[in-house]
Amino acid sequence: MRLALALLLTVLAGPAVAQLRGVEVRVPRTFGYFLGDLVEATVAVEAEPGFALQASSLPQAGPVTYWLDLRRVETRQEGTRHILHLTYQTFYAAIDARSLEVPGFPLVLTRGADHGSTTAPVEVPGWSLGLSPLREVQPARRADPADYLRPDGLGPRLDPIPARNAALGLGVAGLLALVLLARDRAWWPFRPRPARAFADAARRLAALARGPESEAGYREGLLALHRGLDAKAGHRLLADDLDDFLARHPAFRAQREGLARFFAASRIAFFGGSVAEARDRLPLAEAGATARALAAAERAA
């Protein structure tokens, strides 16, 4: 304790209490307390080894006398020292400074053994507490007796600022995350990007698949995927280059079969002159699925 000063040191002696070496009550100060003040007291009991405080003998929190409450009792043990931290609260409305007696209390120490236990009673001594008046004995005269009282005062308001700052911070972070997502998916304004070439192709194919079926539309869809592959490869990619391309971009290997069918259909459509046959082999929706899978692999790469 900060200002610990030994207040009382009672050494109990004699054969009846041989297990007990001493009881000590310490308080930071014994004077200058106003009503409502908390009073911290520490009781240290020095006992023979093996003894422990009996929990049921500890003082209970609650009123001690009409002017004193015991608010809290905490115990701890340091070797053979048993220490109690007691927090009192005084409600004595003093008119002059005076000392009042804080009553002592009994404690019981026990030592457990196989054939029953040894108990040792301890008497914690009372101590005196110096209480001070808060006001003068005769205050100045007031016309209205209610003027002697302190005013009711005002309560606090809620503080909306932390929640507002959190909302602003999360909002800004959310917009940033949205920008990141747009970049990842090659949405506006991040559209024309070779790193997201398949995203563009997949979008174009999805748009064409929604529209009416036509030869021109089918060709345009195939061309969109071609352009995506060209952009990804960095040069015009033909069917024979596919293995080379997949070796350099292993992320798209899973789509090897789809891509091979796409090149085959493309050859029939553009060089075989039969769009209908090409569409039989590879419907536009399937080309779109391949493009979507490529776009997803591209994002994960």
What is the closest distance, in whole angstroms, from the C-beta atom of residue 88 to other proteins in the complex? 11
Range 164-203, binding other proteins (CB under 8 A)? 164, 166-171, 173-175, 177-178, 180-181, 184-185
Is residue 300 within the footprint of other proteins (CB under 8 A)? Answer: yes
Pick the closer one to other proteins by CB: 91 or 270: 91
Binding mask 7-36 for other proteins (x = CB under 8 A): ---------------------------xxx
Is residue 69 within the footprint of other proteins (CB under 8 A)? Answer: yes
The answer to whether 84 and 126 have CB atoms below 8 angstroms apart is no
Is residue 66 within the footprint of other proteins (CB under 8 A)? Answer: yes
What is the closest distance, in whole angstroms, from the C-beta atom of residue 255 to other proteins in the complex? 16
The answer to whether 196 and 295 have CB atoms below 8 angstroms apart is yes
Q: Could you say which of 12, 19, 30, 37 contacts other proteins (CB under 8 A)?
A: 37
Is residue 54 within the footprint of other proteins (CB under 8 A)? Answer: no
Pick the closer one to other proteins by CB: 16 or 178: 178
Query: Token pair for residue 83?
Result: 């220490």
Binding mask 128-157 for other proteins (x = CB under 8 A): -----xxxxxxx-xx--xx-xxxxxxxxxx
Q: Which residues pair with 9 in a beta bridge?
A: 24
Is residue 250 within the footprint of other proteins (CB under 8 A)? Answer: no
Query: Token pair for residue 213?
Result: 């079926």
Pick the closer one to other proteins by CB: 35 or 264: 35
Contacts with other proteins by CB under 8 A: the residue count is 60
What is the closest distance, in whole angstroms, from the C-beta atom of residue 196 to other proteins in the complex? 12
Range 95-114, binding other proteins (CB under 8 A)? 95
Nearest-5° Cα angle at 52, 79 to 83: 60
Q: Which residues bind other proteins (CB under 8 A)?
A: 34-38, 65-67, 69, 71, 89, 91, 93, 95, 133-139, 141-142, 145-146, 148-161, 163-164, 166-171, 173-175, 177-178, 180-181, 184-185, 296, 299-301
